[in-house]
Amino acid sequence: CRAHRSAGGALVANVLRNGSVLLQWGLRHWGPPRPAAALRGFALNCSWDGTYTRFPCDSVELGAACRDYLLAEAHGSVRYRLCLQPRYAPPRPAPPAQCVEFRVEPAAMRDIVVAMTAVGGSICVMLVFICLLVAYITENLMSPALARGGAAAAG
């Protein structure tokens, strides 16, 4: 797990080995304390950089009691920017969003080895079937013709 913290320290992105990201936050880093009853929830926005363009993620509205969020199946080798902003009841203005940027590491070599082993195993199974098919054809289709020809020559 690698932790990435926002500039204000309120938002932490824990990037896990399996490609998921656990976001955690607290309210004490967002400035002066406000009444808990005024907190309506949180807005989570994200974007990520693709090869040629920047993609916006769907906005997520979270409840006031939430203090963490799991972003499952993040893309490897992609730069993410996640911003979280508390939502307060009017007339209180919303504090500025806390943003964190990180890159998810590409799939581990272990995953590549497992995939290659599976493909190699499939190829071996196909080769065994081909060899059995050739042996069957050779034994059952070629042998009777030779046996008939040999019997005619003997008689």
What is the per-residue pLDDT across 29-58, written as a single tens digit (0 to 9) for each?
676 666 666 888 999 988 887 666 666 677
User: Do 71 and 127 fall into the same domain?
Assistant: no
User: Do 86 and 125 fall into the same domain?
Assistant: no
- pLDDT (average), residues 117-146: 82
User: Do 28 and 99 fall into the same domain?
Assistant: yes
Q: What is the mean pLDDT of the chain?
A: 80
User: Do 116 and 81 fall into the same domain?
Assistant: no
User: Do 61 and 13 fall into the same domain?
Assistant: yes
What string of H, E and C letters represents the secondary structure of the chain?
CEEEECCCCCEEEEECCCCCEEEEECCCCCCCCCCHHHEEEEEEEEEEECCCCEEECCCEEECCCCCEEEECCCCCCCEEEEEEEEEECCCCCCCCCEEEEEECCCCCHHHHHHHHHHHHHHHHHHHHHHHHHHHHHHHHHHHHHHHHHHHHHHC
pTM, two decimals, is 0.63
User: Do 120 and 88 fall into the same domain?
Assistant: no
User: Do 16 and 66 fall into the same domain?
Assistant: yes
User: Do 15 and 89 fall into the same domain?
Assistant: yes
Can you give the residue range of the structural domain that contains 28? Answer: 2-105
